Chains A and B, each alone.
Chain A
Amino acid sequence: MSGPEETRGSQGPVVPEGNGALPARAGEERLAAPVVRTGMFGTQTTGDTSGYGRLRVHRAPPIESLRPYGSYFDAVADALGGALQAGGLGFSDAIERVVVDRGELTFYVRRERLREVAAKLRDDPDLRFEMCTGVSGVHYLEDGGRELHAVYHLLSITHNRRVRLEVTAPDADPHIPSLVGVYPTCNWHERETWDFFGIVFDGHPALTRIQMPDDWKGHPQRKDYPLGGIPVEYRGAKIPAPDERRHYE
Chain B
Amino acid sequence: MTAGQTPGAPAGAGEADEEAAEGRVYTVSGEDWDEIVAAANEARDLGGGEQIVVNMGPQHPSTHGVLRLILTLEGETVTEVRASIGYLHTGIEKNMEYRTWTQGVTFCTRMDYLMPFFNEAAYCIAVERLLGIEDKVPERAQIIRVMLMEFNRISSHLQGIGPMGMELGATTIFLQGLRLRERILDLYELITGLRMNHAYIRPGGLAQDLPPGALEAIRAFLEGAPKLVHDLRTLIDANPVFIGRTKDVAYLDLAGCMALGVTGPMLRSTGLPWDLRKSQPYCGYESYEFDVPVTKSCDAYGRYLIRMDEIDQSLKIVRQCADRLAAREAAGDPVMIRDAKIGWPAQLSLGPDGLGPSPEHIAHIMGQSMEALIHHFKLITEGFRVPAGQAYAAVESARGELGAHVVSDGGTRPYRVHFRDPSFTNLQSVAALCEGGMVADVIPAIASIDPVMGGVDR
Which residues of A are at the interface with B, using a C-beta cutoff of 8 A?
A: 1-2, 4-5, 8-9, 11, 36, 60, 101-104, 106, 130-134, 136-139, 151, 153, 155, 157, 160, 162, 164, 183-185, 187-189, 192, 209-213, 220-221, 242-243, 245, 247-249
Contact = CB atoms under 8 A, between A and B. Distances in A.
A130 B260 CA distance: 10
Nearest to A151: B405
Given A185-B260, A185-B261, A248-B382, A60 B388 contact: yes
Nearest to B272: A157
A102 B406 CA distance: 12
Interface in B393-415: 394, 401, 403, 405, 407, 409-413, 415
Contact of B403 (A133, A188, A220, A248): A133
B320 interface: no
Contacts, number: 120
Interface residues of B, number: 51
Which one of B95, B258, B427 has the highest number of Cβ atoms from chain A below 10 Å of its Cβ?
A: B258
Interface stretch (B174-182, B416-424, B439-447): B416-424
Contacts of A151: 390, 405, 418
A130 B254 CA distance: 11
B94 interface: yes
A183 B405 contact: no
A134 B403 contact: yes
Contacts of A36: 409
B93 A184 contact: no
A8 B94 contact: no
Which one of A106, A243, A248 has the highest number of Cβ atoms from chain B below 10 Å of its Cβ?
A: A248
15 contacts: A1-B385, A4-B385, A8-B387, A11-B132, A60-B410, A106-B390, A130-B258, A131-B263, A133-B401, A134-B425, A136-B405, A136-B418, A151-B390, A151-B405, A188-B425
B403 A221 contact: no
Contacts of A101: 389-390
A211 B416 CA distance: 18
Contacts of A221: 93-94, 416
B391 A102 contact: yes
Interface of B: 85-86, 89, 91, 93-95, 98, 129-130, 132, 258-263, 272, 274, 279-280, 381-383, 385, 387-392, 394, 401, 403, 405, 407, 409-413, 415-416, 418, 420, 424-425, 427-428, 457-458
A213 B259 CA distance: 28
A188 B403 CA distance: 16
Nearest to A242: B98
B392 A162 contact: yes
A109 to B, nearest CB: 15
A36 B3 CA distance: 55
B387 A248 contact: no
Nearest to A10: B387
A36 B408 CA distance: 14
Q: Give 8 closest A-B pairs by Cβ, nearest first.
A: A185-B261, A136-B418, A242-B98, A134-B420, A211-B86, A211-B89, A248-B382, A5-B410
Given A134-B261, A242-B98, A188 B132 contact: no
A102 B261 contact: no
Given A9-B388, A211-B89, A213-B86, 19 more contacts: A2-B410, A5-B385, A9-B387, A9-B389, A101-B390, A104-B391, A106-B390, A130-B258, A133-B403, A133-B425, A138-B416, A162-B392, A183-B261, A185-B261, A185-B262, A185-B425, A221-B93, A242-B95, A248-B382
Contacts of A138: 390, 407, 415-416
Contacts of B428: 185, 187-188
Contact of B420 (A4, A133, A242): A133
Contact of B260 (A162, A184, A213, A249): A184
Contact of A131 (B98, B261, B383, B457): B261
A139 B97 CA distance: 12
Contacts of B381: 248
A92 B414 CA distance: 32
Contacts of B425: 133-134, 185, 188-189
B272 to A, nearest CB: 7
Contacts of A184: 259-260
B86 A183 contact: no
A157 B254 CA distance: 12
Contacts of B95: 242
A3 to B, nearest CB: 10
Which one of A102, A106, A132 has the highest number of Cβ atoms from chain B below 10 Å of its Cβ?
A: A102
A8 B132 contact: yes
Contact of A102 (B98, B129, B403, B405): B129
Contact of B279 (A106, A130, A160, A209): A160
B91 A220 contact: yes
A185 B421 CA distance: 13
A164 B393 CA distance: 12
A49 B86 CA distance: 48
Contacts of A8: 132, 387
B336 to A, nearest CB: 20
